[in-house]
Amino acid sequence: MMNELLLLSLTAASLGFIHTALGPDHYLPFIVLSKARNWSVPKTMWITFISGVGHVGGSVVIGIVGIALGISLNKLTFIEEFRGDMVALLLIAFGLIYSVYGFYKFPKIFRYKEIRQVLMSAILQEFIKAINRIGQAEG
């Protein structure tokens, strides 16, 4: 157990050092502030340390929130049971509504009442067939 903890600590420290060394945005602001405000080296080190703790702490909090959201969303598996059917019905309903809108928005294209009735009848029949197919897929 002690070897694993030591290995984990060394890995975390190494990654933290590399992360800081490769990102000048992590240390240049402290150097600039230190020079501009005439801070002593211990004060600069202390402020840098406190900021690093805040940086790591913020990352840990974001990670915990992400894990909690993932766990809570994973419990919503009941949505997965009908998600596909719900999307299919929404797409069919959108097509039906858009077709009806087109018939009434552009009546010159569909001049004859009989043509509109036949098209509407065909669309409704296809809508009913699609709903029946979805119902059969569930059962």
Residue-wise pLDDT tens digits, 15-34: 888 988 888 888 888 989 99
pLDDT of residue 26: 81
Q: Are residues 52 and 84 in the same domain?
A: no
Q: Is the pLDDT of residue 13 over 70?
A: yes
The pLDDT value given to residue 139: 57
Please tell me whether residues 121 and 84 are part of one structural domain. yes
Same domain, 113 and 57: no
Of the candidates 120, 139, 126, 115, the one whose C-alpha atom is nearest the C-alpha of residue 91 is 126
Domain that holds residue 100: 78-138
Share of the chain above pLDDT 90, in %: 23
Quote the CA–CA distance of 25 and 22 in Å, as a whole number: 9
Residue with tokens 């030591």: 6
pLDDT in the model for residue 52: 87
Residues 6+ apart with CB under 8 A from 127: 92, 96
pLDDT at 43: 94
